[in-house]
Structure 1
Amino acid sequence: MDGRKGGIACAIAMALAGCVTAAPVDVAHHGVVLPWPYAHLPADAPIEAGVPVGLDPLQQEAVVVGVSQWMKEPSSATFGTMRGARNTRGIVTICGLVAGRTSAGATAALAPFIGVMLGTPGDPEFVVVGIGSLPRSRAEVLSLCRESGVAQIE
């Protein structure tokens, strides 16, 4: 098979397999990775829906700090709605919306985020679990928020 036919066959195979090569999308945040000591937590743990709770000013500040550290330009982060839900184990899941500038300087649309509040009431720490800038990750984050009992954020 010559190079041209091989290239055509490869393109057809990719199309049939649904593999499409696309240019990378420039989002306003870096990829989220759970930091130590949270990296070992099981990804397939069941989600328990909680009941809505308000966020005090310290918790809101912890969310802003926690999300901003994942932004490419932390000073450009702007926040929309933020809501939380506490499950029977006392874990508070928080979902909200954040926007910021991409590495090209463009302002990105509001993206949903999800994370959990850890630490103590006097020294809360917000650990980001995900930010949904692209359609698939956006759908995943919004689904996790609903399953966690967090009211609609969009």
Structure 2
Amino acid sequence: MGGLDGEQKELIKKLVNFRMKEGKKTRVRAILYQTFHRLAQTDHDIMKLIVDAIENIKPICEVRKVRRARTIYDVPGILGRNRQQTLAIRWILEGAFKRRISYRISLEKCLFDEIVDAYRKRGIARKKRDSLQELASNKRSFARFRWW
């Protein structure tokens, strides 16, 4: 991690911390670096590939539930940059776990496949982003209830 800038280091920290369970950070780092090793075997720059994959998955807006006059509305709202990145990382990791459960292969391979699919604008995480964007565009008439 010596040749990385501040944003890239923060991105790797977020990837590790989102995946970490029960304080096993070294185990998660090993899985992540094995994934990076698989990515290095392709002809692309590793960090550029990951950053572009996250850029392709970032949602622009999300839908929140708002209660107004005893009725609950789904109100779309624009997301901040950190929240966009957080959701993108979360969705990529969830997609890798879903692949692992359905195909019963190693997590490194599933994470590699999901990152490459996100880079190519397809995969489980991209479907989740597209469904959220579609829901937000369908509910745009309730945007008048947004106060944040």
User: Which is greater in Rg?
Assistant: 1
- Using structure 1 for the length normalisation, give the TM-score: 0.28
Larger RCO (alpha carbons 8 Å, 6+ apart): 2
Structure showing the higher strand proportion among its residues: 1
